[in-house]
Amino acid sequence: MVTIKKIEIKGFFGKGDFEWVLDPVVNILGGKNGSGKSTIFKFCYMLLSGATIDQKTDQRFSELFKKVVLTFSNGWVLTWDNIEHGNTYSADFTDNEPKFVRQNSFIIKDTNGNTKEQSELQDLVKVEMINSFEQHVAKATQYEQQPKSQPLDDPMMLDLLIKDQKDLRNDKFTKAMESYIDGSEESEKKRKEYVAVYKKTYEALEHFLTEYDKPFNSSFEFSKNGKKFGYEHLSMGEKQILLLMLMVGNTNQQPCIFFMDEPDLSMHIDWKENLISALHELNPNMQIILSTHAPSVITGWHDKVNEVSNLIK
């Protein structure tokens, strides 16, 4: 399992140099609003996820950082340098639409100093991110993309994110079951193992959503006092916990790095106190990198907490 061992940022918002040595399992970053937590998470996620860093994004981060260095547990190092005088941008047609990007804005090297491609790092490091701040109202194009057979009623962006994760979950389950139908003893063993992991998301939700009847079905319809309704009618905190559990559940307990930018927003204090433990149990092979303002979230994890201000020298 490859994890992030250290995050270094030179010229962090013009305040100094930021250095964060990470735990392979749980990491919690605290700090005042505007201290840079979300910016750190966003940029690290972009570097690791294979997202195209276009000219506008590159220039914006160059105003905030001089250099970003990510060191991994296998010894690989990713280095991004900000814009220097004379840098030029060329058109990238990866997403069909031209985006102007700076060549070699970041470099990945292995333990022997050999340069590696971004795709090679992605093969080693699986990364996810949830950002609780940016749940915007859905756009017209996103309404149009809904299957006509199962449209959502006046969806918010959070509803569409849940729907995407629900559909991904069900699609993965169908494909897994289809791959284990040869009747062999080994296939039957793998099928049972997959089903056990698949059910853990429901078990995690039952721990939090105690007011609803059990069990939850694959469409995540809920029932209470004899009435049934879709997940889009849940409260904001309930939707947040549903999305988070679906995203972590969809990792299928495979090794990954998961950035969570204040995932506890709108959640009850009792949920906050159990959140990290529930996420770790859902995927014990996941490196959690989480930011929060809530003291209740760090219950039992105080030794994993760092403040942004204490990491700047």
How many domains in the chain? 2
Q: Which of 205, 223, 253 is the last residue of a domain?
A: 253
In this structure, are 92 and 139 located in the same domain?
no
Identify whether 262 is part of a domain.
no
Q: Residue 300: which residues within 8 A CB-CB, separation 6 or more?
A: 276, 277
pTM metric for this prediction: 0.90
**207 and 155 in a common domain:** yes
Establish if 261 belongs to a structural domain.
Answer: no
**Residue bearing the bigger pLDDT, 136 or 250:** 250
Distance CA 257, CA 286 (A): 6
* Contacting residues for 174 by C-beta, under 8 A, at least 6 apart: none
What integer is the mean pLDDT of 64-74? 97
In a shared domain, residues 103 and 33? yes
Residue 85 is predicted with a pLDDT of 66
163 and 83 in a single domain? The answer is no
The parent domain of residue 148 ranges over 134-253
Asked if the model's pLDDT at residue 198 lies above 90, the reply is: yes
Which of 281, 302, 278 has the alpha carbon at shortest distance from 292? 302
* pLDDT 10s digits, 112-123: 999 999 999 999
* pLDDT at residue 138, as a whole number: 45
Residues 148, 70: one domain? no
Whether 263 is in a domain gets the answer no
